[in-house]
Amino acid sequence: MGERSAEHATFRIERVYSALPKRVYQAWTNPKMKARWYGPTDQKSELLLDYRIGGREHFTGEVSNGLVFGYEAIFHEIVPDHRIVFSYTMDFDKVRISASLVTVEITASGNDSARLLLTEQGVHLDGADTPADREQGTRDMLEALATALSD
């Protein structure tokens, strides 16, 4: 094993969606809706969602070379149609690469629009993941959410 390290970082992403806040919230909390935008949708994956305080979310996805990445989350606070707070760990090929705390805030933004503010505080472990890569991956997923909401 290589040298051990822990890099801490925080990022915030704000998006406005052409959908009511309730619909944006449901895209995070309804397993069928979330499966349409969360994670790589073109690869073999599994999403299990027990959406409640203390509930868990499990996602695994196989990348093109057969390696598997995994995501395990626990929900800490839920304010329907407004806020979700959860922590999660991410593994790649059975090696822990990060742990994070995420707050998703959803508010009305004009007529039939919702403002989403996502704040993530993470620790990226042993150089296997970087804050920049995580932020870009999150931006990509939030773009996929926009596409899913427009369908």
Q: Is residue 1 part of a domain?
A: no
Per-residue pLDDT tens for 30-79? 998 998 898 765 567 788 999 999 999 998 888 777 788 899 999 999 99
Beta bridge partners of 62: 68
Which of 73, 68, 81 has the alpha carbon at shortest distance from 24?
A: 81
Query: pLDDT at position 42, please?
Result: 56
Q: Is residue 29 part of a domain?
A: yes
Domain that holds residue 73: 6-150
pTM, two decimal places: 0.92
CA distance readout (Å), 65 to 62, 93, 97, 107, 123 = 8, 11, 18, 40, 26
Please name the residue that has the structure tokens 């598997």. 68
Question: Number of folded domains in the chain?
Answer: 1
Which tokens is 66 given?
Answer: 């057969």
Q: Look up the CATH number of the domain holding residue 32.
A: 3.30.530.20
